[in-house]
Amino acid sequence: IKDSERFADEDKKVKDRVDAKNELESYVYTLKTQVADKEKLGGKLSADDKSTIEKEIEEKIKWLDENQASAEIDDFKAQK
């Protein structure tokens, strides 16, 4: 029984970590889509603001690519 409780705790930690990663990925890619949409958010931003946001988005995508296997829940939350 102790093993099953331990595995349940580990499973929950893994699930929470995956959920945090997925939440960050979703946030980043949704923002990327919105910034690219010239009829919505992308059309309301100045060129400088749009460039700044696009650079931040690319940095977050790069961070995700480099850290998704080793990052913890708090790391994903800090990136958002």
| pLDDT one-digit tens code per residue, 23-41 | 999 999 999 999 999 999 9
Compute how many other C-beta atoms are within 10 angstroms of the C-beta atom of residue 24.
Answer: 21
pLDDT for the residue numbered 48: 97
Predicted confidence (pLDDT) per residue in 56-68, tens digit? 999 999 999 999 9
Domains of the chain and CATH, by start: 2-79 (1.20.1270.10)
Helical H segments across the chain, by residue range? 2-36, 41-44, 47-67, 73-79
Q: Distance between CA 50 and CA 60 in Å, rounded?
A: 15
Q: Distance between CA 44 and CA 50 in Å, rounded?
A: 9
Q: Do residues 17 and 70 make contact, with C-beta atoms less than 8 angstroms apart?
A: no
